[in-house]
Each structure stands twice: as C-alpha cells, then as structure tokens.
A and B are shown apart, each in its own frame.
Chain A
Amino acid sequence: MRALLFLVGKNLKNIIKSAFKRPLTLIGYIIALLFIIFVIVAAFAMPSGLVRMSSPKLFRGIMMLVFSFLYYTSLKIGIEKGSSYFRMADVNMAFTSPLHPNQVLLYGFIKQLGGTLLLLVLAMCQIPNLKNNFAFEPHGVPMLLLAVVVYTLAYPLISMVIYSWTSVKKERKKLMKRILDAAALTVVLIFILDLSRTRNFTESLGNVFDNPIVHYFPVIGWTGSIASSAVSAFDASFYVGSAGMLVLIIGLSLLLYRMKLDYYEDVLEATEFAEQVIKAKREGKNVALYLKTRKNVRSGLSGQGAKALFAKNILEIRKTSLVFFFDRMSVTVILSSVIFRLIMPSEIGSFSLLIILAFSVYMMLLIQLQGRWAAEVEKHFIFLIPASSYEKLFYATLSDHVKNLSDGIVLFTLSGILFNADIPSILASILSYVAFGAVFVYSDVLARRLFGRAHSKNLILFVKILFSFALIIPGVIAAVIAASITGIELMATGAVGAWAFVLAITLFIFSGGIFNNLEAVS
C-alpha cells in the first residue's frame, strides 16, 4: 500500500510544483483557488430563502429527478463500457505488480475521492441559486455535498458489478439495458399522465418524485433523500438512505475484492474508454455525447483550400449526429433548457425565451467546451493547408456556427410554440444563441493564442469559463436596462444578442492570426 500512497502523494506534489514553473499557469490556479474559496464561502455563508421560499416538496422532486438522470446515464455507459477509477498507467504498472488487488482497489477509491472535488465545486456553484429559492437547514449544504460524494463513490461500484455480470453474455447486457430503459420510460409516462391531470410542471414534479416509494427506492431514492435533507429536518428517509448507501458502498466493495478478486479485466475496457475521454477532452470534444459514428452517411466533400475544412467538419458532424446536425448535445441543451423554464416560477411571465436563452447558453458553455476547431489543431493538416490564418480559422469554426444555428432553430421554435412567443423574439433568440456560440469558440481560440498548448486543460477551461462570463456581463447589463425601460423581451434579447455579435467579431479579429504563431502538436 505504501507504494500506492507514494504514487498519490507524488502526483499531487508534482502538479503543484509544475504550476510554480509557469507563472501564467500559477495565476490560473490562484484564480481557480480564489473562485473555489469564494464559492465555498458563498455556499455556506449566504442566507437562504431570500428571493422566495419554494416548497421542500419541489426541492425533493428536483433532487430525485437530478439523481435519477445521473444514475440512469452513468449506469447506461457502465453497462456498455464498465467503469473505472484507473488510468492505463495503473493497468500496465500497478495491476501487473505484486500488490494485492484489494489494495489497488482502495487506491482507486482514493483517486476517485480526488475526482469528486471537481463535481463538488460544480455542485457548490448551484448552491447560491438553490439557496435563493429554498429555505436551507443549517445542515443543508453539507448534506447536499454528501449526496454528491455518495453518488460519485457508488455509481462506479454499481457499474463494475453490473458490467461483470453482463459482460459474460450479450443477452444479459440487453436485458439490463431494457430494464433501465423500461424504468426510465415508466417514470416519464407516469410524469406525463400526472402532468395531463395537473397541467402544472412543478406540481407534477413534486407528485411523481416526492412520494414514499421514491424516497425509499434503492440507490436513487436513498441518494436523493440524503440531498433532500438539505431543506428539511432529518427524517426516516434520510437515515434509511444514508444507511442504505453506506451498506451498498461497503458491500459492493467487499463483493468486488473479497468474493471476486479478478476485476482487472472488467475495468480494462472502461480504463481504455476513460483514456479516450481524457484524450477527447484535450481535443475539446465530449466523448459521452458522441458515442457512435454512423457509417451510412453519404460521403463526399466539396470546396477547395480552407473551405474543405468546413465540408469535412460538416461531414463529421453528420456522422456523429442522431439526425441531420442534431446530436446528444442538442438534445441535452434543448431538453434541459425547456425543463429549466418549466421549473422556474410563474412570475417570470413574458420573458420565457430570454430565460431559455440564458440557460441554454450556460449549458452550451459547459457541454461544448471548445468546439471542433480544438480537435483540428491537434492534427497537423490544418497547419499545412495553403490558405491564410484568418481563412482557415473562419472555415474551421463555421461548422460550429451552422450546428448552433440548427440547434437554436429547434430550441427556440419549440419554446416559442410552448410559451406563445412572437416570431421576432424567436428569431432574435436564435441569432443570439449563435452569436454566443461564436463568442465561446473565439474566446477559446484567443486563450489558445495567449497560453499556447495548455499545461492543464481543466485549468484553461476553467479560466475560459470565467473569462467568458466576464465578457458577457456588459451584454447582460444592457439586456436588464433594455428590459426595465421597455418591458419588451425582444429588446432585451436584441441588446444581449447585439453585444454577443460585436464581441464575437472582435474576438475573431484578435484571434485570427493564430496559425501564424501556434505550433503543431503532432
């Protein structure tokens, strides 16, 4: 075990040491640290229920919905690929060394605990918003964070056990997938039935997800009950949930390394997949959202010189999309944005599209990360194409704008119908969405121009997210002023959209010369 602790310690020490070697990176880490401290202080210190005191029932409903979604998606991937706390270096060195597999598993747990930190920070970022809308108990924040930790420890274990059982026979894999899908479909159907009765989204959310069966439902209900205790006194469901998850985590760990020591193969494929995810992250892609490549797409490219980049990107998008340009990212952004608006209180009134625009832009920033161009510069081809740097950048990023336009049309046409918006507002929202997409893409290009190939991709992404938020603040202020003076949604959307458009053009001009000084990786 000492050898593995040595590994954990040295890793941590070297990350810190290497940050000190690069002043820009160090500044980035300091900003990240200050932000985390700010978020922690804000999460714990800010009073709750200031804006409104929504019912604990709604809070429970939201928590159960969130954890149902998290478990469903992670277990689906788990069945397909297994789950792993490890990297390939662990497979090649630690797995083959004379260390007991149970020690190696424990080492994996320690690493996973480190991995939960990022998720905890993300969870903490949501706390101010939750505190504004719900009356938190004094123990509320720690309980919410405990639920996140419990989830991140439990799902890889459950995935590993399910994978070991299903990997033996294809029929088992199919069966498990069907069970999961059937369960998800049942929940959706129950929800739709309830919605048809109540005609109120938030009420139905409470009805379906806040009832004793759900509270005590293994795993999802247990985790949700721990999170739900943030806004209510500790009750039976909390104690059952906590005890249940504790027994589950310990029990599955014991099952994995006492009863069946041979788990290396189970994590091998998952580790290879995790390695792909990390590689894709470096290239700015989100593997979880682009799992399969379609082969039945008619190929053939058009355009000469830099334009060929655009044609190639469009072909790639079509190959990884569900239909046309519509992929899992589109589904996630569109569904989550519409659900977010439905959960929002009714006093938002006529500003539905603006709320959806704000949330979808936020989701786009989190999910899209860097766009396709980042993958492009990981390969040498773009550097060799005989065209100007501006031309290459324009065509390498054009496909992102086309895809955002396609997503925007679906999202805001659907939202416009749902919330009775007028056509000019729908058009303004679509164009603003595309403009924000361009801001994120070109701010990333500029960051790459300033920082070069990132020392730490996570750090650069983090700085980029903060930077992007800072950049759009004037637009948000303009929108608030326009809304308060005119009271018209179109004016507010137009103001923020116009700012995003100007910003995107400016960023493009500043970042356009990137290929004149960027070095190729391969």
Chain B
Amino acid sequence: MLKVRNLSKRFDKVQAVDGVSFDVEPGEIAVLLGPNGAGKSTTIKSIAGLLRFEGQIHINNVKNKEVEAKRAFGYIPESPALYENLTVWEHLEFIARAYSLGDWEDDANRLLARFEMDDKKDKLGKELSKGMQQKLSICCALLIRPRMIMFDEPMIGLDPTAIKELKSIFVELKDSGCAVLISTHLIDSVDEVWDKVLIMNKGKIVLIRTRSELDSTGESLERIFFEVIGRKEEGEG
C-alpha cells in the first residue's frame, strides 16, 4: 500500500531524512518511533505531499502527489489546524465535498458520537479546545474511509477516553485492510497495537522489526529502542 524508497529531505544544511526505505502493507500497523528531531514528522509530511523530497513514494501504486494517491490516504497532523469560522459539521462537509464522498452523513454522525462530539456539531473551529480540535482532525481523516492513514503524534492532547477510542480505531482500521502509519515518541502509547516498528534516529531508519520477530527474541520494544538509539534506558545506572 505504502512504498517509500530512498527518501531523503534536506533543509539547508540539515539532512532531516537520509535515504529512508520501508513498506506498510494493507492491514498492517507500522509505528515510526524515534526521539525528537529524528525525522519522523518530515517523513510523514513528505509522504503527505507537503514537502519536496528525493526518492520515491508510492501510495496504492501511484506516486504520492498524484490526485489518485491523495484520494486513498488520510493524514492527521501533529498540531490540529482547523478553519476558525467553520463549524464541526461544516468541516466534515467540506472534507466530504473535497473527496467527493457520497452518503457520508451517517459515517460523520457515527464518528462524532464515538469521539463524544455529537453535541458540538455547531461549534466553530475556534471555539474548540485543543483536544477537541485533535478529535475533529481525526474524524476528518477517517471520514474519507482511507486505504492508508498517517497519524503524526496522535495521542497528544487527547483525554483517556479518546486515547482508548483511538487505539480501538487503529485495530478496526487494520482489520478493514487499511495500512496505518503512526509517528510517535511515546512508546507506551502504541505498545499494544503495532505490527511493525520502524525506529528512526538522526534521519535514518536504524531498525525495522515485526512484532513476531520481537516476540521470538523475548525483548521489549522499549529496551530495543534505547539500544538502537544509543541511550541508556531510564532507571538504569
């Protein structure tokens, strides 16, 4: 579903992403882990078509910047940015129109109910709290019924109920055959759901492991993470 080959991105003198390659298959949850500044967000923004890059990115066998590729993926940015003067419902309507969705209203209602926002349909973007904005941002991405979806630090700002709901959504997306890519630096937040982990450090992918590979060695994700990024695990001398 998602194929990234030799992805590189340079900002002036900083090589933010350096020759990164990986795949995310349909029905797979891949987690992009890494410390701050590892290049996770730049990788996601490049895949979302917001940055120019070197290398190849294909979504559903189409180049990521093609309109057909855009139809297939959803993107939830790190900081939610909404239209200040559009209501919650109008955001969803805009997305439905932009993606030419049919019969979207029931799905929209279901999503809002799941995130406990069904009573906030008429609230303007600027009237929402940061957590609510994040929830709406997630609803907008899910509404398009994506075949591939990217979450950039999705848990930040969410309440415990929403985090729990989001985790079950990850699993539902996977079960429906959607390829899921989650970027985060909070290992615990994705520990229960991931199928493949991609650990990034200093712009490179330093380790790719599947859950079964890790299970067979009996190592914990946290230990592996600290090992490969070359820092001592918290609590250890």
| 8 A Cβ contacts from B69-112 to A | 70-71, 73, 75, 77, 79-87, 90-91, 93-95, 97-100
Tell me, yes or no, whether A100 is within 8 Å of chain B by CB. yes
Residue of A11, A94, A264, A268 touching B98 (CB-CB under 8 A): A94
For the complex formed, measure the closest distance between the CB of A450 and the CB atoms of chain B, giving whole angstroms.
21
For the complex formed, measure the closest distance between the CB of B61 and the CB atoms of chain A, giving whole angstroms.
16
Contact between chains at A3 and B137 (CB < 8 Å) = no
Contact between chains at B77 and A92 (CB < 8 Å) = yes
Chain A 1-18, CB within 8 Å of chain B: the 1/0 string? 011101100110011001
Which of the segments B45-53, B183-191, B200-208, B226-234 contacts the partner chain?
B45-53
Specify which chain B residues have a CB less than 8 angstroms from the CB of A88 in the assembled complex: 79, 81
A170 to B52, CA, bound (A): 17
Contact between chains at A87 and B81 (CB < 8 Å) = yes
Chain B 126-149, CB within 8 Å of chain A: the 1/0 string? 000000000001001000000000
Tell me, yes or no, whether B65 is within 8 Å of chain A by CB. yes
Specify which chain A residues have a CB less than 8 angstroms from the CB of B91 in the assembled complex: 93
Specify which chain B residues have a CB less than 8 angstroms from the CB of A15 in the assembled complex: 85
Contact between chains at B99 and A98 (CB < 8 Å) = yes
Residue of B12, B49, B67, B83 touching A89 (CB-CB under 8 A): B83
A89 to B97, CA, bound (A): 16
Tell me, yes or no, whether B68 is within 8 Å of chain A by CB. yes
Contact between chains at A265 and B52 (CB < 8 Å) = yes
For the complex formed, measure the closest distance between the CB of A269 and the CB atoms of chain B, giving whole angstroms.
10
Tell me, yes or no, whether B39 is within 8 Å of chain A by CB. no
Chain A 282-321, CB within 8 Å of chain B: the 1/0 string? 0000000000000000000000000000000000000000
CB-nearest residue of chain B relative to A15?
A: B85
Tell me, yes or no, whether A362 is within 8 Å of chain B by CB. no
Tell me, yes or no, whether B27 is within 8 Å of chain A by CB. no
Contact between chains at A11 and B51 (CB < 8 Å) = no
For the complex formed, measure the closest distance between the CB of A44 and the CB atoms of chain B, giving whole angstroms.
31
A10-B86 contact, Cβ under 8 Å, with A3-B98, A99-B98, A262-B65? yes
Q: What is the size category of the interface that chain B forms with chain A?
A: 35 or more
Contact between chains at A91 and B81 (CB < 8 Å) = yes
Chain B 151-182, CB within 8 Å of chain A: the 1/0 string? 00000000000000000000000000000000
CB-nearest residue of chain B relative to A94?
A: B98
| 8 A Cβ contacts from A68-120 to B | 87-89, 91-100
Contact between chains at B124 and A14 (CB < 8 Å) = yes
A3 to B70, CA, bound (A): 15
Contact between chains at B83 and A7 (CB < 8 Å) = yes
Residue of A89, A170, A262, A268 touching B125 (CB-CB under 8 A): A89
A98-B68 contact, Cβ under 8 Å, with A10-B90, A262-B52? yes
With a 10 A CB-CB cut-off, give which of A11, A91, A98, A264 has the most chain B CB atoms. Answer: A98
A97 to B71, CA, bound (A): 7
A268 to B87, CA, bound (A): 24
A6 to B99, CA, bound (A): 13
For the complex formed, measure the closest distance between the CB of A6 and the CB atoms of chain B, giving whole angstroms.
5
Specify which chain A residues have a CB less than 8 angstroms from the CB of B75 in the assembled complex: 92, 96
Contact between chains at A6 and B81 (CB < 8 Å) = no
Specify which chain A residues have a CB less than 8 angstroms from the CB of B52 in the assembled complex: 262, 265
Specify which chain A residues have a CB less than 8 angstroms from the CB of B84 in the assembled complex: 89
Specify which chain A residues have a CB less than 8 angstroms from the CB of B86 in the assembled complex: 7, 10-11, 14
For the complex formed, measure the closest distance between the CB of A79 and the CB atoms of chain B, giving whole angstroms.
14
Residue of A7, A87, A100 touching B94 (CB-CB under 8 A): A7
A88 to B79, CA, bound (A): 9
Contact between chains at A97 and B81 (CB < 8 Å) = no
For the complex formed, measure the closest distance between the CB of A29 and the CB atoms of chain B, giving whole angstroms.
14
Chain A 259-279, CB within 8 Å of chain B: the 1/0 string? 001101100100000010000
Contact between chains at A170 and B97 (CB < 8 Å) = no
Specify which chain A residues have a CB less than 8 angstroms from the CB of B137 in the assembled complex: 92
CB-nearest residue of chain B relative to A264?
A: B50
A87 to B125, CA, bound (A): 13
CB-nearest residue of chain A relative to B76?
A: A92
Contact between chains at B71 and A92 (CB < 8 Å) = no
Specify which chain A residues have a CB less than 8 angstroms from the CB of B93 in the assembled complex: 6
A14 to B98, CA, bound (A): 20
A98 to B227, CA, bound (A): 41
With a 10 A CB-CB cut-off, give which of A3, A10, A87, A89 has the most chain B CB atoms. Answer: A89
Specify which chain A residues have a CB less than 8 angstroms from the CB of B97 in the assembled complex: 2-3, 6
A18 to B51, CA, bound (A): 36
A1 to B75, CA, bound (A): 21
Contact between chains at A264 and B49 (CB < 8 Å) = yes
A268-B50 contact, Cβ under 8 Å, with A6-B94, A7-B83, A14-B85? yes
Specify which chain B residues have a CB less than 8 angstroms from the CB of A91 in the assembled complex: 50, 81
Specify which chain B residues have a CB less than 8 angstroms from the CB of A100 in the assembled complex: 67
Specify which chain A residues have a CB less than 8 angstroms from the CB of B71 in the assembled complex: 98
CB-nearest residue of chain B relative to A266?
A: B52
Specify which chain B residues have a CB less than 8 angstroms from the CB of A2 in the assembled complex: 97
Specify which chain B residues have a CB less than 8 angstroms from the CB of A11 in the assembled complex: 83, 85-86
Contact between chains at B98 and A93 (CB < 8 Å) = yes
Specify which chain A residues have a CB less than 8 angstroms from the CB of B81 in the assembled complex: 87-89, 91-92, 275
A100 to B80, CA, bound (A): 23
A262 to B49, CA, bound (A): 9
A93 to B87, CA, bound (A): 15
Specify which chain A residues have a CB less than 8 angstroms from the CB of B67 in the assembled complex: 98-100
Contact between chains at B95 and A97 (CB < 8 Å) = yes
CB-nearest residue of chain B relative to A13?
A: B85
For the complex formed, measure the closest distance between the CB of A302 and the CB atoms of chain B, giving whole angstroms.
35
For the complex formed, measure the closest distance between the CB of B32 and the CB atoms of chain A, giving whole angstroms.
18
Contact between chains at B12 and A97 (CB < 8 Å) = no
A4 to B97, CA, bound (A): 9
A264 to B70, CA, bound (A): 14
Specify which chain A residues have a CB less than 8 angstroms from the CB of B77 in the assembled complex: 92
Further pairs besides A7-B86, A88-B79: 8, Cβ < 8 Å:
A3-B97, A4-B98, A87-B81, A93-B98, A170-B12, A264-B50, A264-B51, A265-B52
Please, could you name 5 A-B residue pairs with CB atoms under 8 Å apart, sorted by A?
Answer: A7-B94, A10-B90, A87-B81, A89-B82, A95-B50
The 5 closest A-B pairs by CB, nearest first: A88-B81, A3-B97, A3-B98, A97-B98, A98-B70
